[in-house]
Amino acid sequence: MKRQKRLEPVLLGAFEEQVMLAVVRTGAEAYGMTVRRELEEVTRREVTIGSVYATLDRLEAKGLVTSSRLAAASDVPSRRMFIVTPFGAQSLVFTRTTRDRLWSGVDVRTLLEV
């Protein structure tokens, strides 16, 4: 039996990280529009639905999220639902750890003094 190669987590870009966190936060309701709403609510910034879907597509191509089509009810259109993969979760942790290491020892107060 061939042993599966374990992938090393990847460092996420800022928006990729935000989109993945929004997927985690919205849970079973993680489809494009709910991810967008969560991002806008938390970041207090306007986010286009196109940028959300482009990022979700890129994350899926990298194996960080996976999607499935939820069957449509008679009055509800079908939705493409997203979940973070174990590899995606590892990459979220790796990204946060890296960011925390960069912040360690940084005192921005001295930069704020005018």
What pLDDT is recorded for position 7? 81
Residue 33 lies in domain:
14-95
Q: How far apart are CA 62 and CA 29, in angstroms?
A: 22
What pLDDT is recorded for position 4? 57
Whether residue 78 contacts residue 70, with contact meaning beta carbons closer than 8 Å, is answered with: yes
What pLDDT is recorded for position 1? 60
Residue 110 in domain: no
Q: What is the mean pLDDT of the chain?
A: 92
Residue 46 in domain: yes
For the chain, percent of residues with pLDDT exceeding 90: 76
How many domains does the chain divide into? 1
What's the pLDDT band for 110 if we cut at 50, 70, 90? confident
Mean pLDDT, range 35-63, rounded to an integer: 98
Residue 105 in domain: no
Whether residue 23 contacts residue 35, with contact meaning beta carbons closer than 8 Å, is answered with: yes
Mean pLDDT, range 64-68, rounded to an integer: 97
